[in-house]
Structure 1
Amino acid sequence: MDEIYDYIEELEDFLGGTFHQDISSPEQALDEFINEASIGCLLSTIKDCEKFLNSNLTKQEKENIIQNNAEIYFPAIELTPLQWLNNLVEKMKEGVKTK
């Protein structure tokens, strides 16, 4: 059980620390994270996100965790929280390739 809480806690730290109320836009915040993070940090964040996305939590539980930790107004970006997080993972993977 500890492993579950570890990656969820890491995910919550990433979302809250990157997508907070003081950002200009979610896209800019992600770009800054990718540019400033080491490859190791990016790979670890991707792993935590993927563990979360593939976990046995319900879709609603996952969406609640994302919404409670990221200051994103999802109707405005026309994505569900899970679609948005999947997009983040893909963009971080692209960021790893270009580092």
Structure 2
Amino acid sequence: MNESSSYLKKLEDFLGGTFHQDIDSPEEALDEFIHEASKECLLSTIKDCQGFLNSTLTIQKKESFIENNAEIYFPAISLNPIQWFNQIIEEMKKAVKMQ
């Protein structure tokens, strides 16, 4: 498995495992992930998320990837998938600083 498919698999697991159909809200799901994850896990997840955003994939492919792996109805939160993804990265960064 090459490096790019490795972080994509990790992101699939993170998005699908955190933002699935049984959550009450995306905010609560992220809060739960942050609360349960170790600092090392958060740092690794942030690194994978940033690697994904900085990858050579097109914006459309990035948005499709996020939409296909997170059970979020983006029109309801008034954000596109990339904007939302950037927000969750920032929330994880804040949590790391507070740990």
TM-score for the superposition, normalised by structure 1 = 0.98
Gaps of 5+ in 2: none
- Residue 57 of structure 1 and its aligned partner are, at CA, apart by 0.1
Structure 1 equivalent of residue 73 of structure 2 = 73
Q: Distance in 2 between matches of 1:25 and 1:49?
A: 20
What TM-score results when the alignment is normalised by the length of structure 2? 0.98
1:1-99 correspondence runs (5 A): 2-99=2-99
- Count of matched residue pairs: 99
For residues 38-83 of structure 1, what are the alpha-carbon distances to aligned partners after superposition, in whole Å with 9 as ceiling and x for unaligned? 0000000000000000000000000000000000000000000000
Counterpart CA distance in 2 for 1:80 and 1:55 is 18
DSSP-derived class of the 1:92 partner: helix
RMSD over aligned Cα atoms: 0.8
Matches of 1:94 and 1:28 in 2, distance apart?
16
1:98 Cα deviation after fit = 1.0
Identity of aligned residues (%): 68
- What is the CA distance between 1:97 and its match in structure 2? 0.9
SS of 2:57 mapped into structure 1: coil
